[in-house]
Amino acid sequence: MAKPIRLTIKGSDASGTDAPTVEDLLGQVHDFVEMLRGVEDAVTDDGQVLVWRVTDVTMNSPISIEVTPFSPNPAIFADSRAVTVQNAVRNGFSALAAGEIRPPYFTDKVLPSAQRIYSRVLNGLVETTIDFETDDDAPPVQISRETARIVTTAAAAARPIRVPYREQGSIEGFISNAERDGHGRGVLRFRSRLDGSIVKAVATGEAFRQLEKFRLGEVWDGV
């Protein structure tokens, strides 16, 4: 059987207790397992095979939970697969702590879970320790508030700055599509007569009322 991983989750409260809230405890465990699943998808080409089960819970202060990978099919030997996934996740945490934005195998499915783990350490938790009990005796991953600040600051700096839409002028062209965008707004896409580029137009009220007279046939004919 593959070796387990132990998560130790330490909370903070004004009364002096280090017991985490239910939401923080379950959130850390859930997001960590989601990271394991996402990395497994990234390092293999046959989808998820490993099943992660809670094999031990220690109620000492602070609370720790042990999760162990199992193969759903006794005929499938998945120990080497589990070691590959665990090493990739452990190395990814180390890379994030060093300021790297996207470690190997940390896909768009994995990174949000990792960011939530760090965010909880800054908002309610004091520390989360992840002990990968592998054969190389590597030290546990310790996510402190200092480490969480490094990771969240690096992630924020890497996000693109959102630029609002601005009115640039007028366009002469042809209607190419009518749709709704991700905010539920009605939009039209125009093909510029001059260079063929596609321009997205957002408008409300009377701005669109003037266009309702057009029929689909006219659009298809290049109105």
What's the pLDDT score for residue 105? 95
Q: Which pLDDT belongs to residue 204? A: 64
- At 54 the pLDDT is 96
The answer to whether 133 and 3 are in contact (CB under 8 A) is yes
Are 85 and 78 a contacting pair, CB within 8 Å? no
What is the edge-to-edge ordering of all strands in the sheet holding 141-144? 51-58, 63-70, 5-11, 125-132, 141-144
pLDDT computed for residue 49 by the predictor? 84
Return the bridge partners of 88, or none: none
d(CA 147, CA 173): 53
Task: Count Cβ atoms within 10 A of the Cβ of residue 161 and give its class: 0-12 exposed, 13-18 middle, 19 or more buried.
Answer: exposed
DSSP 31-93: HHHHHHHHHHHHH-SS----EEEEEEEE-SSSEEEEEEEE-SSTTS--HHHHHHHHHHHHHHH
List 6's β-bridge partners, or say none: 66, 131
pLDDT of residue 91: 95
Q: What is the pLDDT of residue 77?
A: 76
- pTM for the full model? 0.69
pLDDT of residue 65: 97
pLDDT at 177: 74
The interaxial angle of helices 22-43 and 79-97, nearest 10 deg, is 110
- CA atoms of 89 and 104, how far apart (whole Å): 9
Per-residue model confidence (pLDDT) at position 169:
62
pLDDT mean values, one per 10 residues, the chain (223 residues) = 89 80 96 96 83 93 94 80 93 94 93 96 94 83 94 81 57 73 68 70 66 66 62
